[in-house]
Amino acid sequence: MADQVSVIQWIVAEMAMWLIEGLIPEKGVRVLNAVGRVVLWIGLFLLLLGVTIALAVEGDLLVLLGLAVGFVGLLFLGIGASLRSLGNRQMVDMGLLDVVS
């Protein structure tokens, strides 16, 4: 019974991804690519700023602030990379949301 439920869940998830993929027009794919690029650059800037703050200052609280800013930069880099991969033209041909599954 559990195998049947997992197959049904997989089928429903694939159908939902096909539906979402069909709703995203070509302009939306280009927007995802552009937004992902901007988020990547913001993440890179924050990461470099955080590392610079952490290494350049001598106060304990400022080092923690630098590490926190660097961590937020890493998060932005990950989000930007995932948006760019969704907005990539090659991903449209093989299935826009197959990366998720």
Spell out a b/e string for 68-101, using b for 16 or more CB atoms within 10 Å of the CB, else e.
ebbebbeebbebbeebbebbbeebeeeebbeeee
The stretch 37-50 carries a mean pLDDT of 91
Portion of the chain with pLDDT greater than 70, in percent = 70
pLDDT band at 12 (very low <50, low <70, confident <90, very high): confident
How much is the pLDDT for 101?
46
Task: List alpha helices for 57-88, DSSP H.
Answer: 60-86
pLDDT band at 48 (very low <50, low <70, confident <90, very high): very high
Residue appearing with tokens 């709703």:
23
At 66-90, the pLDDT tens digits run 889 999 999 999 888 887 877 665 4
Residue appearing with tokens 């001598």:
58
